[in-house]
């Protein structure tokens, strides 16, 4: 029971990280109609920036904030140099061009930071545990991740649903010409939205870094899971992304934790230990296939077509 | 087929491929045969993808999965002592076709970006199945100790013979795709790409034709997988990694979508480019990544579009 | 009265809060030209969409020659004799004009699981296609890419494609929209020639064309069919005059 609670918290934490990544993807798709394979690169770059800035400043928080700023600038630069030229193109072009960007950034990281991974050390206060229930102590840092993730998710919802900027964003999603007629500089809006997506992705990467490690390709594995999230949620829908991210995070984490045990009931221990991680990795895709079979547009279809 | 300058170029290209073993012998560079065998096998995969991507407009981001399915079929059968190629290879095709039918039936209900992401996700699913095949090496892959054997008709371990087998398969595949895209079936696929709604409105149930094309493409790529595993005497989940599917798309677009020979040319140019760039710098993708962007922006019709003359009816 | 070729009962389609078609009961007599008029946004295209099968009605039924087709998919309805043209031109732009029509011909030549024989030069496809191109006056456009044709020619091409499926009932959604005078005259002539042979449900804003062609007219306003009758009856109907004819100069 305690293990289940602990794993559920881990699932929530992973789900919130997924949401940060998926939110940027789904915003960019919903508003600019752009498929961005390089979104995972921003997640990775955020983590690498943080690794460097934390070493330089010797402060976790300061380093992280600087990394977010750098990720924003990087996002804006990518939008201005490359992505902007792609809006008028079809999805295949998006896929190819952003695939190129992804290869570029992986190689760039290898050139600048070297092929070996990095670890990010947590400051002392975060490197502790909190006793949530008798017998259940939970890492403080993971609680902080849940808190930050939850706050950002709420802030994002508020931004999109309640503010003038959000109104523009939603208007941009439904009617580009109308936004133009309202006198909003749509190009600037697009750049900002892309930058915002970059910051969210980087934030997820930075927060994940102390838990996993910082490595080349870290963005790709989670990117595809983020794709699954937005497909399940309904592409373009923030609400759908949120629900689906928590679902996927939960199923993936809890599956990883309990599958080995369940499988050991059927097969030898080494067999179960090798099979379980693969099966756990497959769970979210099976979930996706099921949901899409029933609802090809996802749970919260944001728009038709 | 009218003889156009473009066709002449492609003819010379195929002729050059036919001469590779001879050339390798003259130059005393036997590794050329190995290199080009691999290229030709991946060309078979790219040409198959072109049927659905180039002619059918289906941006499948999971095509490399069939390389794994075909490869593992051969590998697993060999592991259990079945090395008869007449069993292995047709089974590799059959299982690929079966997989394509099931996955296609789900994916083709969706459109556009959903289709891209779902094919990608299914590919990832199968990739993890490969990783989970602990009895067959899991992540580390499976070594194939005995090569497929076609009743002794082909000397499979003789590199030039195997090369010519692969080359012949590529030629036959191109011929079959040529017939298909000009047949009634092929016109339906192309009409569906052009305007699917219209095609349905004139009474053509496009879904089943698109699914059939998806299965044909998957089958050919499954065959390529069997060839690839045979050539390397090895198969691992890495051939199914989603970036390999990306490579196949790159090959098709680089050569020219919806052109008969383009994807074969594209594959070979792509792999040669990789050889050349990576011999120049360890960080070759630093150059290649931006090249992709430029390809998309300035040469959307690929190499085929740069060749003179001839329409692409 | 003989059985109508098309009969709808209680067709309702909502888009969110908006009722785009509201309890539509429509009978199209076999062999007639039945016009559907109404201001922009009245729900005409939505109705055509439900008849052709692209839009699922929320409730109600559709019968074609007595047969319930409410749940049939688009291609099946076409096979049963329902063909349509779209309000916004819908063709295969990268095919030639001949191939556009030939595809429609092919659809009634049985299934297309034919993988080997070259289809483009197949006289079973091109023969009827060329005849239909001639029927709509496009005989010298056969080899041109469809995208290169003029707007008026696109509309004619759509008619030819619809005819190629050997329809019993044609659904035409504003076939004359955006046409010049000369092109409109030509389209009216084309439809006049079809009249009697094929039943037609015609959505059109051009009142001269409607009154020239239609045997009966149904007026749609805000999703409701407010009147149905002969052209003379419709002209005389006070409600229609108030709701629509008084302000019929809308374009779209
Ligand atoms: N897919 C849709 N989603 C939401 N509203 C729609 C949709 N299609 C049409 N409508 C609305 O339904 C009403 C009827 O539209 P339509 O059938 O196109 O009218 P008409 O063809 O008579 O001009 C309009 O108010 C239109 O805005
Ligand atoms: Mg309309």
Among all bound ligands, the one having the nearest atom to the CA of C88 is 2
In the predicted structure, residue B311 carries a pLDDT above the cut 60: no
The mean per-residue pLDDT over the stretch B274-282 comes to: 91
Q: How many CB atoms lie within 10 A of CB B144?
A: 21
Nearest to C103 among B182, B191, B313 (CB): B191
Residue A171: what pLDDT?
A: 62
pLDDT per residue as tens, chain C (252 positions): 578 999 999 999 999 889 999 999 999 999 999 999 999 999 999 999 999 999 999 999 999 999 999 999 999 999 999 999 998 999 999 999 999 999 999 999 999 999 999 999 999 999 999 999 999 999 999 999 999 999 999 999 999 999 999 999 999 999 998 888 899 999 999 999 999 899 999 999 888 899 999 999 999 999 999 999 999 999 888 888 877 655 544 433
Atom of ligand 1 nearest to the CA of C87: 21
Instruction: Check whether residue C139 and residue C181 sit in a common domain.
Output: no
Nearest CA to ligand 1 atom 7: C15
pLDDT in tens, B151-165: 888 888 899 999 999
Q: Which of residues C149, C164, C179 is at a domain's end?
A: C164
Q: What is the mean pLDDT of residues B196-214?
A: 97
User: In this predicted structure, what is the pLDDT of residue A175?
Assistant: 61
Q: In the prediction, which pLDDT does C248 show?
A: 47
| CA-based nearest residue to A40, from A181, A194, A222 | A222
Which two three-digit tokens encode residue B182?
Answer: 């000009």
Do C145 and C210 belong together in one domain?
no
What is the pLDDT at residue A163?
Answer: 76
Q: Contact, A49 vs A202, CB < 8 A?
A: yes
3 state SS of A118: strand
C134 lines ligand 1 (CB under 6 A): no
> CA C223, CA C22: separation in Å to the nearest integer?
5
pLDDT in tens, A152-169: 999 988 888 777 777 766
Interchain contact C70–B (C-beta under 8 A): no
Whether C and A touch, i.e. at least 3 CB pairs below 8 A, reads as no
Q: Find the length of chain A.
A: 305
pLDDT, tens digit, for every residue of A47-100?
999 999 999 999 999 999 999 999 999 999 999 999 999 988 999 999 999 999
Average pLDDT over every residue of A241-260: 91
Are the Cβ atoms of A288 and B132 closer than 8 angstroms? no
Q: Which residues of A touch B49 (CB under 8 A)?
A: none
Question: Is-contact B234 B144, C-beta < 8 A?
Answer: yes
Q: At which residue do the structure tokens 């904030």 appear?
A: A65
pLDDT of B313 over the 60 cut: no
Give the separation between CA C241 and CA C179, rounded to whole angstroms: 26
Q: How far is CA B164 from CA A17, A51, B21, B47, B260, in A?
A: 51, 52, 9, 18, 20
User: Taking a C-beta distance cutoff of 8 angstroms, is the pair B107, B207 a contact?
Assistant: no
| DSSP notation for A39-58 | HHHHHHHHHHHHHHHHHHHS
Confidence category of residue A304, pLDDT binned at 50, 70, 90: very low
Q: Is the CB of C31 under 6 A from ligand 1?
A: no
Q: Which domain holds residue C108?
A: 90-164
pLDDT for B111: 84
Chain A contact for B290 (CB, 8 A cutoff): yes
C146 CA → ligand 1 middle, Å: 28
Q: Do A29 and B113 touch (CB under 8 A)?
A: yes
C173 alpha carbon to ligand 1 midpoint, in Å?
A: 13
At A180 the pLDDT is: 61
Q: What total of structural domains would you count in chain C?
A: 2
Residue A185: pLDDT above 80?
no
Looking at the complex, does the CB of residue B208 fall below 8 Å from at least one CB of chain A?
Answer: no
Characterise A183 by phi-psi region: left (phi > 0), alpha (psi -120 to 50), beta (else): left
- For B279-296, write each residue's pLDDT tens digit: 998 899 999 999 999 999
DSSP state of C86: -
pTM here is 0.92
Spatial distance between the Cα atoms of B198 and C74, rounded to a whole number of angstroms: 10
A268 vs B248, residue with greater confidence: B248
* Backbone region of residue B81 per phi and psi (left: phi > 0; alpha: psi in -120 to 50; beta: other values): left
State the ligand closest to the CA atom of C19.
1
> Domain check: are C84 and C139 in the same one?
no
Q: Where are the domains of chain B?
A: 38-241
Q: What is the pLDDT of residue A215?
A: 92
Distance from residue C43's CA to the centre of ligand 2 (Å): 7
Report the C-alpha gap between B52 and B219 in whole angstroms.
12
C45 lines ligand 1 (CB under 6 A): yes
| pLDDT at position B2 over 80 | no
Phi-psi region of C27 (alpha: psi -120 to 50; beta: other; left: phi over 0): beta
Write down which chains contact chain B via at least 3 CB pairs under 8 A: A, C
Q: How much is the average pLDDT of B226-231?
A: 96
Whole-angstrom distance, CA of residue B250 vs CA of residue B124? 19
Q: At A268, is the pLDDT very low, low, confident or very high (cuts 50, 70, 90)?
A: confident
Tokens of A138: 């939970």
Tokens of B305: 């579009």
Residue C190: partners with Cβ closer than 8 Å, 6 or more residues away: C135, C136, C137, C156, C159
Of B118, B121, B286, the CB nearest to A104: B286
Pick from C142, C164, C186: which residue ends a domain? C164
Of all protein residues, the one whose alpha carbon is nearest to atom 3 of ligand 1 is C15
* Confidence band of A125 (pLDDT split at 50, 70, 90): confident
Q: Which of C52, C106, C115 sits opposite B201 (nearest CB)?
A: C52
Residues C38, C112, single domain; the answer is: no
Interatomic CA distance for residues B228 and B221, integer angstroms = 10
* Domain residue limits, chain A: 2-304
Predicted complex ipTM: 0.91
Name the pairing type of β-strands C199-203 and C33-37: parallel
How many Å apart are CA C192 and CA C213, to the nearest integer?
7
Q: What is the distance in A from the centroid of ligand 1 to the CA of C13?
A: 10
- Whole-number pLDDT of residue A182: 61
Bridge partners of residue B149, in order along the sequence: B84
Residue C252 confidence (pLDDT): 35
Whole-angstrom Cα distance, residue A232 to residue B283?
A: 36
Question: Ligand 1 in contact with C43 (CB < 6 A)?
Answer: yes
Side-chain-side CA neighbours of C136 within 13 Å: the count stands at 29
- Whether residue A303 has pLDDT greater than 80: no
Same domain assignment for residues C244 and C173: yes
Q: C78 and C133: one domain? A: no
* % residues pLDDT > 90 (chain B): 82
Listed range (A283-287, B177-181, C10-14, C153-157) with the worst mean pLDDT = A283-287
pLDDT score recorded for residue A183: 62
Is residue C50 within 8 angstroms of chain B, CB to CB?
no
C-alpha distance from residue A211 to each of A153, A259, B293 (Å): 20, 21, 34
pLDDT tens, position by position, C124-149: 999 999 999 999 999 999 999 999 99
The whole-number pLDDT of residue A292 equals: 82
Residues 167-206 of B with CB under 8 A from C: 179-180, 182-188, 190-191, 194-195, 197-206
Provide the pLDDT confidence category of residue A172 given band limits of 50, 70 and 90: low
Q: Which chains touch C (3 or more CB pairs under 8 A)?
A: B
H-assigned helices in chain C: 44-52, 74-79, 97-107, 123-135, 151-164, 181-194, 207-213, 231-236, 238-243
Contact A85 B125 (CB under 8 A): no
Cα A255 to Cα C9: distance, rounded to the nearest angstrom: 52
Could you tell me the two tokens for C143? 């080899």
pLDDT of A270 strictly over 90: no
pLDDT tens, position by position, B134-152: 889 888 999 999 999 888 8
- Domain covering A2-304: architecture: Orthogonal Bundle (1.10)
Q: Ligand 1: distance of its center to the CA of A231 in Å?
A: 27
- Which residue among C95, C107, C125 places its CB closest to the CB of B204? C107
CA–centroid distance, residue C205 to ligand 2 (Å): 10
Are residue C23 and residue C37 in the same domain, yes or no? yes
What is the pLDDT of chain B when averaged over all its residues?
93
Same domain, C101 and C150: yes
- State both tokens at A301: 């279809």
CA distance B226 to B234: 10
Packed helices B159-182 and B5-18: angle between N→C axes, nearest 10 degrees:
150
Interface contact C44, partner B, CB < 8 A = no
State which of C145, C164, C183 marks the end of a domain. C164
Tokens of A131: 């006793």
């Amino acid at each position: 029971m305690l293990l289940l609670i602990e794993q559920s918290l881990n699932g929530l934490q992973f789900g919130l990280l997924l949401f940060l990544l998926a939110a940027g993807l789904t915003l960019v798709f919903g508003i600019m109609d752009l498929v961005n394979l390089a979104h995972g690169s921003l997640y990775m770059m955020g983590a690498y920036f943080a690794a460097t800035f934390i070493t330089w400043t010797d402060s976790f928080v300061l380093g992280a904030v600087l990394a977010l700023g750098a990720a924003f600038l990087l996002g804006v630069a990518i939008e201005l140099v490359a992505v902007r030229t792609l809006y008028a193109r079809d999805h295949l072009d998006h896929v190819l061009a952003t695939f190129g960007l992804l290869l570029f950034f992986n190689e760039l990281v290898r050139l600048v930071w070297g092929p070996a991974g990095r670890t990010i050390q947590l400051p002392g206060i975060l490197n502790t545990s909190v006793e949530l229930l008798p017998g259940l102590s939970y890492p403080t840092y993971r609680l902080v991740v849940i808190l930050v993730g939850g706050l950002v998710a709420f802030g994002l919802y508020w931004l999109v649903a309640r503010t003038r900027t959000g109104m523009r964003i939603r208007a941009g999603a439904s009617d580009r010409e109308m936004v133009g007629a309202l006198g909003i500089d749509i190009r600037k809006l697009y750049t900002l939205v892309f930058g915002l997506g970059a910051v969210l992705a980087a934030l997820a990467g930075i927060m994940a870094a102390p838990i996993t490690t910082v490595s080349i390709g870290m963005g790709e594995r989670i990117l595809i899971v983020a794709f699954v999230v937005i497909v399940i949620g309904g592409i373009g829908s923030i609400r759908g992304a949120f629900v689906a991210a928590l679902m996927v995070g939960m199923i993936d984490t809890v599956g990883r934790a309990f599958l080995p045990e369940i499988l050991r009931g059927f097969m030898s221990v080494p067999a179960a230990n090798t099979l379980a991680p693969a099966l756990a990795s497959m769970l979210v895709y099976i979930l996706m296939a099921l949901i899409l079979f029933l609802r090809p547009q996802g749970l919260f279809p944001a728009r038709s077509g | 087929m009218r003889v156009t300058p473009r066709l002449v170029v492609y003819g010379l290209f195929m002729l050059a491929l036919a001469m590779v073993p001879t050339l390798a012998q003259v130059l005393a560079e036997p590794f050329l045969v190995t290199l080009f065998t691999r290229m030709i096998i991946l060309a078979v995969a790219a040409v198959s993808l072109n049927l659905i991507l180039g002619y059918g407009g289906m941006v499948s981001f999971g095509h490399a999965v069939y390389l794994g399915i075909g490869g593992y079929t051969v590998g697993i059968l060999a592991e259990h002592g079945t090395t008869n190629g007449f069993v292995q290879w047709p089974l590799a095709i059959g299982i690929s076709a079966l997989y394509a039918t099931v996955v296609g039936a789900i994916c083709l209900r969706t459109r556009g970006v959903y289709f891209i992401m779902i094919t990608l996700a299914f590919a990832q699913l199968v990739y993890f199945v490969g990783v989970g095949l602990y009895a067959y090496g899991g992540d580390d892959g499976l070594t194939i100790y005995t090569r497929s054997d076609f009743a002794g008709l082909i000397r499979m371990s003789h590199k030039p013979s195997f090369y010519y087998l692969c080359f012949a398969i590529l030629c036959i595949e191109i011929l079959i795709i040529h017939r298909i895209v000009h047949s009634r079936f092929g016109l339906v696929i192309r009409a569906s790409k052009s305007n699917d709604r219209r095609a349905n409105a004139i009474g053509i149930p496009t879904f089943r034709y698109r699914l059939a094309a998806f299965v044909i493409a998957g089958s050919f790529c499954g065959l390529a997988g069997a060839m690839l595993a045979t050539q390397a005497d090895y198969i691992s989940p890495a051939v199914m990694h989603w970036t390999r599917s990306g490579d196949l798309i790159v090959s098709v677009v680089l050569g020219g979508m919806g052109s008969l020979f383009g994807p074969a040319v594209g594959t070979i140019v792509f792999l040669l480019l990789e050889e050349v760039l990576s011999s120049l710098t360890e960080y070759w993708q630093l150059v290649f990544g931006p090249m992709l962007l430029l390809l998309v922006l300035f040469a959307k019709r690929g190499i085929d579009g740069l060749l003179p003359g001839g329409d692409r009816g | 009265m003989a059985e109508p070729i098309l009969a709808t009962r209680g067709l309702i389609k909502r888009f969110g809060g908006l009722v785009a078609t509201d309890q539509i009961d429509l009978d199209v007599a076999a062999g007639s030209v039945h016009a559907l008029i109404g201001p922009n946004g009245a729900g005409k295209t939505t109705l055509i969409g439900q008849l052709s099968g692209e839009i699922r009605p929320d409730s109600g039924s559709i019968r074609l020659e007595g047969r319930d087709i409410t749940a049939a998919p688009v291609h099946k309805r076409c096979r049963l004799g329902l063909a349509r043209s779209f309000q916004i031109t819908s063709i295969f732009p990268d095919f030639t004009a001949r191939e556009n029509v030939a595809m429609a011909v092919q659809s009634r030549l049985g299934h297309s699981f034919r993988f080997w024989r070259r289809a483009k030069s197949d006289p079973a496809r091109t023969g009827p296609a060329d005849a239909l191109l001639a029927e709509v006056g496009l005989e010298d456009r056969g080899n041109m890419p469809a995208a290169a044709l003029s707007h008026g020619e696109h509309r004619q091409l759509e008619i030819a494609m619809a005819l190629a499926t050997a329809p019993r009932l044609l659904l035409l959604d504003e076939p004359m929209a955006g046409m010049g005078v000369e092109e409109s005259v030509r389209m009216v002539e084309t439809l006049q020639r079809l009249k009697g042979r094929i039943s037609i449900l015609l959505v059109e804003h051009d009142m001269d064309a409607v009154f020239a062609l239609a045997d009966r007219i149904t007026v749609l306003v805000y999703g409701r069919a407010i009147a149905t009758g002969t052209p003379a009856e419709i002209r005389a109907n006070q409600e229609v005059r108030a709701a629509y004819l008084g302000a019929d100069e809308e374009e779209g």
